[in-house]
Structure 1
Amino acid sequence: MKIFPAIDIKDKKCVRLVKGDFDNKTEYKMSPVKQAGKYKEHGFKNLHIVDLDGALTGETVNQDIIKDIIAKFDLRVEIGGGIRNLDNIQKYIDAGVDKVILGSAAIKDKNFLKEACEKFPNKIALGLDAKDGYLSVSGWKESSNQLTLDYLKEVNDYGVSRLIYTDINRDGMKQSPNFDETLKVAELSNCPVVISGGVSSIDDIKQAKNLKNIEGIIVGKAIYDGDIKLEELVKEDA
């Protein structure tokens, strides 16, 4: 199973939000580039990056930082946050990104998701961020009134190469992921699923390994707060 250490970028710093709340954030001293270097040094191969400025503005605000990380460290990067048109997807792919995560734009416009999957085969990941079974959009500030599983059924044949499922109520809370809901998504999904939100310990990682159709797991706040040691975590990375 792939381990995706996370870097969330806001105002050129590494931050972590609680339940996606921009008013409830922790800033960390390490720069995103140095943090990526630390992950590389420990032997991680994959990296999950969210451009939080992009999520708020709909622009690729921190593209230079992401380009820098890819150029320096040869990590397989998946990037999300405010990617709302084909040009921005192209920019990231040209920069060497492994997967581009579409969230709000794909939920609001299924045709955009379909077009992106057709134009960029094997490069599009779908980010489904859910709260109480319903998808949230626009930096989690609004509910889409769409049930996660209903939406997934509609887009399941579009050719998405990876699905990232986040339970917003667990994100940044370190209360373990919502394995029950993730399992429902993984059972339905035509592509492999990455678990996101709430990882609190190595036990969560080990539990995730036993689930079907799970490609990997994203770990963020538990790393920054020291609950999970990188030396311990990298041993679970396959």
Structure 2
Amino acid sequence: MKIFPAIDIKDKKCVRLVKGDFDNKTEYQTSPIEQACKYKDHGFKNLHIVDLDGALTGKTVNLNIIEEIVNKFDLKIEVGGGVRTIDSIHKYTDAGAEKVILGSAAIKDKSFLKGACEKFPNRIALGLDAKDGYLSVSGWKENSNQLTLDYLNEINNYGASRLIYTDINRDGMKQSPNFEETSKIANISNCPVIISGGVSSIDDIKKAKELKNKNIEGIIVGKAIYDGDIKLEELVKELDA
């Protein structure tokens, strides 16, 4: 089970949002570079980064920070947040990101997703953010009116190399991930699935590992780390267990 500690960047700071609400955010004293260093020092190998400025603007606003993290710490990074063009994907892959996450742009324009997967084989991760079974887009402000499972069936053969499934109702709430829905997604997905949203304690990590679903590749942990509910020392033990 891969564990992806999370860094969400806004105004060059580490922040966490509740249910993706920019008006309901917590800023942390530590910088993204310092936080990445902590993760590296504890022995983590993977990192999940969201450029929240990018999500708002559609530009690679924090590219230099992400580049610095890759160069300094040699972590396998998946990065997303407002990636809407082939040029943005190029910038992130050139910066050394292992995977680039496509979300709203891929849901609104399936041909963009298909083209990106063809141009960047094994580098595209698909971020599916759902609320009550329906995909949300544009920083979770819009309901796409597409059922998650219907959309996945349509694009399943496009060549995405990873799928990140987030239940918006759980994100930032520390109420445990939606394991049941994630398992349904993993059962039909052609690529490995990452659990995201709502991790509240080390028990959630253990439960994820107990799912015994070979298509679930890992889990993202964010707010619970920042708030001290999960200690990095105990989290890293789950990598080896």
Query: What TM-score range do you get, normalising by the shorter chain?
Result: over 0.9
Superposition TM-score, scaled by structure 1 size:
0.99
Give the alignment of 1:3-42 within 5 angstroms: 3-42=3-42
Residue 122 of structure 2 corresponds to residue 122 of structure 1: yes
* One-letter amino acid matched to 2:53: D
Residues 67-115 of structure 1: per-residue CA shift (max 9 Å, x gap): 0100100000000001001111011101110000000000000000000
5+ long unaligned stretches in structure 1: none
Q: What's the offset of the Cα at 1:19? A: 0.5
CA–CA distance in structure 2, aligned partners of residues 93 and 18 of structure 1: 29
**One of 221, 224, 232 as aligned partner of 1:222:** 224
The CA RMSD over aligned residues, in Å, is: 0.6
Residues 145-180 of structure 1: per-residue CA shift (max 9 Å, x gap): 100000000000001100000000000000000111
CA–CA distance in structure 1, aligned partners of residues 197 and 120 of structure 2: 27
Residues 177-235 of structure 1: per-residue CA shift (max 9 Å, x gap): 01111111011101010000000111111111122111000000000000000000011
CA–CA distance in structure 2, aligned partners of residues 187 and 137 of structure 1: 23
Describe the SS at the equivalent of 1:116.
helix
Q: Which residue of 1 aligns with 2:86?
A: 86
> How many residues are paired up?
238
Q: What's the offset of the Cα at 1:37? A: 0.3
Q: Which residue of 1 aligns with 2:170?
A: 170
Give the alignment of 1:200-211 within 5 angstroms: 200-211=200-211
CA–CA distance in structure 1, aligned partners of residues 188 and 31 of structure 2: 38
CA–CA distance in structure 2, aligned partners of residues 224 and 14 of structure 1: 9
Q: Which residue of 1 aligns with 2:54?
A: 54
Q: Which residue of 1 aligns with 2:234?
A: 232
Q: Which residue of 1 aligns with 2:158?
A: 158
Residue 142 of structure 2 corresponds to residue 142 of structure 1: yes
Q: What's the offset of the Cα at 1:120? A: 0.4
Q: What's the offset of the Cα at 1:237? A: 1.7
CA–CA distance in structure 2, aligned partners of residues 36 and 44 of structure 1: 9
Q: What's the offset of the Cα at 1:51? A: 0.3
Superposition TM-score, scaled by structure 2 size:
0.98
Alignment identity in percent?
Answer: 82
CA–CA distance in structure 1, aligned partners of residues 96 and 237 of structure 2: 26
